[in-house]
Structure 1
Amino acid sequence: MNTTPTETGALDIVIFGGAGDLSFRKLLPALYMAHLHSRLSPETRIVAVGRQNWSREEYLEFIDKNSPQFIEKNAFTADDWKRFMDRLVYVSLDVTAASDYAKLKAVCDAPMVRVFYLATAPSLFTQICANLSSAGLVDAQSRVVLEKPLGTDLASARAINTDVARYFDEQQIYRIDHYLGKETVQNLMVLRFGNAIFEPLWRAPYIKSVQITVAESVGVGSRAGFYDGAGAMRDMVQNHLLQLLCIVAMEPPISLGADDVRDEKLKVLRSLRKMDLADIKRDTVRGQYTAGASEGAAVKGYLEEDNVPAGSRTETFVALRAQINNARWANVPFFLRTGKRMQKRQSEIIIEFADQPFSIFGTTAHHEPNRLIISLQPEESIQLEMMVKEPGTGMSLHPVKLGLDLQQSSDKRRAEAYERLLMDVIKGRLTHFMRRDELEAAWMWVEPILDGWQALDDKPRNYSAGSWGPAASSALMAREDLSWFEEV
């Protein structure tokens, strides 16, 4: 185990929903990696709160059975895992019962920083915060982490924000979006603002279009109960995709300070052109997967999944065209796309540069536009696609890619998104978390689209599991003589 000095002082990390999927799949593996690399002080404890009436030993048995499979194999050792498990405490309580919080108070009574991670349904956020405050567990050092989705519309998001703000100041609230913890996403800031070759061209008229795709090969699985009330627009576009759009499109902040960065992201959200019914009908596509094949196996359609209501119109796919009304992005279309049961798991940003105004190679020469291909998952890489001469006596052209494999670019360990963001919370760094006005501005753009679909009685178009979505999403691009990148 690494014995370098720890990066933090003693604190309690209290996870509500400590036995839930998010905890054993993401949070505890992330905290194990932080522990393994001596990023947590020896005195730091992880206090799991759950409704299950378990003893600490029963909780440890559950975690020991479920979490290790989500830890990098080359990072897991039995001794390190045992030392990590020594940090875990379990408190069984009903989060809606204020009197139960005396049990948590008895465990967390020492004066130290407390991080409360609410890995629960957003409908419980207000009650948990109120009960923590009543139990005397909230002070000026406390921090609270709110998992997405924060609300189902603008009104519910505002209500949750207002209620949580009764007990925590804005500087204590961390609205987490794990996409903002990805190394490549954070590298976008450096790519744009740390390289003179890109920033002068990062605008109209030098950029022709921008594509942002977050595709999943999995279906809704055990999340069907939640997902059917949310859909792809609320689950993915309102947060992940709009955050990626903000980082691609923002103006240079005056510093890397949290509010300076978030001020610029907010300006992007406020500059998004609002859609009316005609825009929604023309510029958005909803889809829902039907039976097909995924990763070589037959899979059922969304309506056949467990806990999905018969005849549900919930979208599992969204593609849309967005426009940013400012000078930098005048007339540059942004195409956003996300879906479940798509051909493969892939998240990428494609910056397509404008064509040369005049080609000396003639109209018959093969010519592809220059593209910057930023891959976020499953691989993390940046590639610049450019034209070169084919070998021979003529002047035939073909595209090649100049590639940077970010995973091979440094010998330093690359922390996973949740580990990076959890360490930011522990250190009190807010840059990669959404501010209240930023979240509400995202809802102000998304909500009219949701309302428009309802007003238009829009039914999702079918697409086969294992495909790239409905044909209408390709038509959305073709209308402007463009194609999704995998179709090129």
Structure 2
Amino acid sequence: MKALTRENKAVFTFFGASGDLAKRKLYPSLFKLYQKGYLKEHFGVIGTSRAKWSDEKFQGIVSDSIKGISETEKGQAAKFASHFYYIAHDVTDKAHYAALNDLINQLNKQYEAQGNRLFYFSMAPAFFSVIALNLKSEGLITDEGYNRLVIEKPFGRDYDTAKQLNDALTASFEEDQIYRIDHYLGKEMIQNIEALRFGNTIIESLWNNRYIDNIQVTLSEKLGVEERASYYDTSGALRDMVQNHILQIVSQLAMEQPVAFTDADVRVEKVKALRSMRVYSPSAAATNLVRGQYDAGENSNAYRDEDGVPADSATETFVAGKLLFDNYRWSGVPFYIRTGKKLADKFTRIDVVFKKPLIDIFAFPQNPNASLSENVLTIYVEPNSGFALRVNAKSTGQGFETEPINLDFFQDADKEKEVPEPYERLLHDALEGNSTNFASWSEVAYAWKFVDAIRKLWDIEVPRFPNYIPGSMGPAASDELLQRDGRSWVYKLNQ
């Protein structure tokens, strides 16, 4: 059953309105909500940055950001853009907040937005704290409607800085008013994890260490660091991908069934899962984590030759690891993760590998090399959306041999067009006050504690970089990590 479309009323304020994220993702996503009726007449949008723009210039930029629309939709896009207003703003100057507040109040009255205010931070994280504190001290937080803060990553660069940021935010906003965005949580197939697990007895009854041998999560990127090199070199794959995207996915795979499918109940179980994840000592981190950095390839620079990257950079562009959970459900089941840049292709997938039967009755003496394949449930997140279940069946013909076959389902092209983009979905959730697909502070804190233990080792070791070529699936040590356990990656290059 499709949810009924309900109009949302609010005044948005985008800090960082001239940025690439706003133009590529945020404005087009708001337009989709407008087209679908989630936004109608009762909303206004304020863009702020240091640029000296007029309302007309800002509205033109918003219109230009909406790609691929028909001639009949251009009028709709123009009407949508007419709800956008601009004010040049220095976030460190308290005097500027009075003018911003006046404009918010004006638009609230003009569009009958019921006092609802949504603030979106899509600028340098160094300014997050000062903006939040000034919003409170200068009276921009209203008692009339709701106040919600949507904040982009990175949320700190370690536990201590994340806590400092969180303390600053919670001095102005309550925890349930803060929406820490992770666009992976807006992806259709990531949201399908709960439906698959808790909506199917046949799956959930097997979702434990009695039947599952290991779980693999792969986030593969084909491109290198591109124009993000200067930022990326201060972050690396561990902070940029593992601390947020991967650990959020893993927490959904590892969590217990919530009491109800509400944001509060789901978050409780995700936090329990992350609490039980083993934090490694330096020696254990050295054994269970692998890092890499890409070398030069055909028509491709090595990472250290990218613009803005030091020639001796030790920043990792690849991470693979084995995660362990010390709880009853998952004791003894490794969760293998890997992510990297300049890999074979761009895709995200989850492979759940089930244990083989204790006794293989089909291992006939006359065919000693034949053995049953593991059953594997694959969740394809992107670029295609779907599921596949690998099972064993009899090979066609005389005799009796088995072979693996796939039972699969993929969204067809028409269905794919209906799937909301992650930012469209998450902006709608923020308007609705639904924080299910946003990270809570407790989740962020446990993720940082896990990552900090690894960084403590990596920051004092000198890695042997570069150690993998573009177009591969990372360094050889990534395969060896699983081989030591008698296992292998389900997805292999050229498979």
Pick the TM interval, shorter chain.
over 0.9
Measure, in 2, the Cα distance between the counterparts of 1:281 and 1:461: 18
CA distance change for structure 1 residues 150 and 134 in 2, over 3 Å: closer, same or farther? same
Look up the SS of the partner of 1:180 in the other structure: helix
Residues 293 and 316 in structure 2, CA contact (< 8 A), matched pair in contact too = yes
Q: 1:194-242, CA deviations, whole angstroms, 9 ceiling, x for partnerless residues? A: 1010111100021001100111111111111211111111111000000
Task: Identify the residue that residue 45 of structure 1 maps to in structure 2.
Answer: 44
Measure, in 2, the Cα distance between the counterparts of 1:426 and 1:268: 28
CA distance change for structure 1 residues 9 and 37 in 2, over 3 Å: closer, same or farther? closer
Task: Identify the residue that residue 250 of structure 1 maps to in structure 2.
Answer: 255
Structure 1 portions without partners, runs of 5+: none
Measure, in 2, the Cα distance between the counterparts of 1:430 and 1:75: 36
AA aligned opposite 2:32: M
- Offset of 1:103 from its aligned partner? 2.3
Q: 1:104-124, CA deviations, whole angstroms, 9 ceiling, x for partnerless residues? A: 112101361010010112211
Residues 5 and 38 in structure 1, CA contact (< 8 A), matched pair in contact too = no
Residues 8 and 426 in structure 1, CA contact (< 8 A), matched pair in contact too = no
Look up the SS of the partner of 1:274 in the other structure: coil
Match of 1:463 among 465, 468, 483: 468
Measure, in 1, the Cα distance between the counterparts of 2:471 and 2:326: 35
Worse overlay, 208-217 or 38-47: 38-47
Residues 284 and 321 in structure 1, CA contact (< 8 A), matched pair in contact too = yes
- Offset of 1:59 from its aligned partner? 2.3
**How many residues matched?**
478
CA distance change for structure 1 residues 116 and 332 in 2, over 3 Å: closer, same or farther? same
AA aligned opposite 2:310: P
Q: 1:367-398, CA deviations, whole angstroms, 9 ceiling, x for partnerless residues? A: 21100000111111111111111210111222
Measure, in 2, the Cα distance between the counterparts of 1:44 and 1:347: 35
Match of 2:115 among 112, 116, 119: 112
- Offset of 1:10 from its aligned partner? 2.2
AA aligned opposite 1:375: Y
Match of 1:403 among 398, 403, 408: 408
Measure, in 2, the Cα distance between the counterparts of 1:414 and 1:289: 34
Measure, in 2, the Cα distance between the counterparts of 1:247 and 1:210: 12
- Offset of 1:476 from its aligned partner? 0.7
Measure, in 2, the Cα distance between the counterparts of 1:458 and 1:429: 43
CA distance change for structure 1 residues 76 and 323 in 2, over 3 Å: closer, same or farther? farther
Measure, in 2, the Cα distance between the counterparts of 1:395 and 1:282: 42
Measure, in 1, the Cα distance between the counterparts of 2:44 and 2:413: 34
Match of 1:68 among 44, 66, 84: 66
Say whether 1:127 aligns with 2:123. no
Worse overlay, 137-146 or 419-428: 137-146
Task: Identify the residue that residue 347 of structure 1 maps to in structure 2.
Answer: 348
- Offset of 1:41 from its aligned partner? 2.8
Task: Identify the residue that residue 319 of structure 1 maps to in structure 2.
Answer: 320
Look up the SS of the partner of 2:336 in the other structure: strand
Look up the SS of the partner of 1:77 in the other structure: helix
Look up the SS of the partner of 1:299 in the other structure: coil
Match of 1:225 among 222, 230, 243: 230
Task: Identify the residue that residue 181 of structure 1 maps to in structure 2.
Answer: 186
CA distance change for structure 1 residues 106 and 455 in 2, over 3 Å: closer, same or farther? same
Look up the SS of the partner of 2:397 in the other structure: coil
Measure, in 1, the Cα distance between the counterparts of 2:4 and 2:361: 61
Match of 2:279 among 274, 277, 282: 274
Measure, in 2, the Cα distance between the counterparts of 1:429 and 1:366: 48
- Offset of 1:135 from its aligned partner? 2.7
Identical positions, percent: 38
1:152-167 matches, within 5 Å, as 152-167=157-172
Task: Identify the residue that residue 377 of structure 1 maps to in structure 2.
Answer: 382
Look up the SS of the partner of 2:418 in the other structure: coil
Residues 346 and 377 in structure 1, CA contact (< 8 A), matched pair in contact too = yes
Measure, in 2, the Cα distance between the counterparts of 1:382 and 1:238: 26
Q: 1:38-57, CA deviations, whole angstroms, 9 ceiling, x for partnerless residues? A: 11131211211111111122
- Offset of 1:102 from its aligned partner? 2.1
Worse overlay, 273-282 or 194-203: 273-282
Measure, in 2, the Cα distance between the counterparts of 1:200 and 1:103: 58
CA distance change for structure 1 residues 118 and 278 in 2, over 3 Å: closer, same or farther? same
Residues 366 and 396 in structure 1, CA contact (< 8 A), matched pair in contact too = no
Structure 2 portions without partners, runs of 5+: 109-113
Measure, in 1, the Cα distance between the counterparts of 2:130 and 2:360: 64
- Offset of 1:406 from its aligned partner? 3.6
Say whether 1:445 aligns with 2:444. no
Residues 6 and 40 in structure 1, CA contact (< 8 A), matched pair in contact too = no
Task: Identify the residue that residue 111 of structure 2 maps to in structure 1.
Answer: none
Measure, in 2, the Cα distance between the counterparts of 1:228 and 1:75: 43
- Offset of 1:79 from its aligned partner? 2.0
- Offset of 1:421 from its aligned partner? 0.8
- Offset of 1:428 from its aligned partner? 0.6
Task: Identify the residue that residue 139 of structure 1 maps to in structure 2.
Answer: 142
Task: Identify the residue that residue 301 of structure 1 maps to in structure 2.
Answer: 302
AA aligned opposite 1:68: I
CA distance change for structure 1 residues 75 and 255 in 2, over 3 Å: closer, same or farther? farther
Worse overlay, 245-254 or 124-133: 124-133
Measure, in 1, the Cα distance between the counterparts of 2:267 and 2:414: 28
Measure, in 1, the Cα distance between the counterparts of 2:20 and 2:405: 42
Measure, in 1, the Cα distance between the counterparts of 2:58 and 2:359: 68
- Offset of 1:73 from its aligned partner? 5.6
Match of 1:475 among 467, 477, 480: 480
Look up the SS of the partner of 2:201 in the other structure: coil
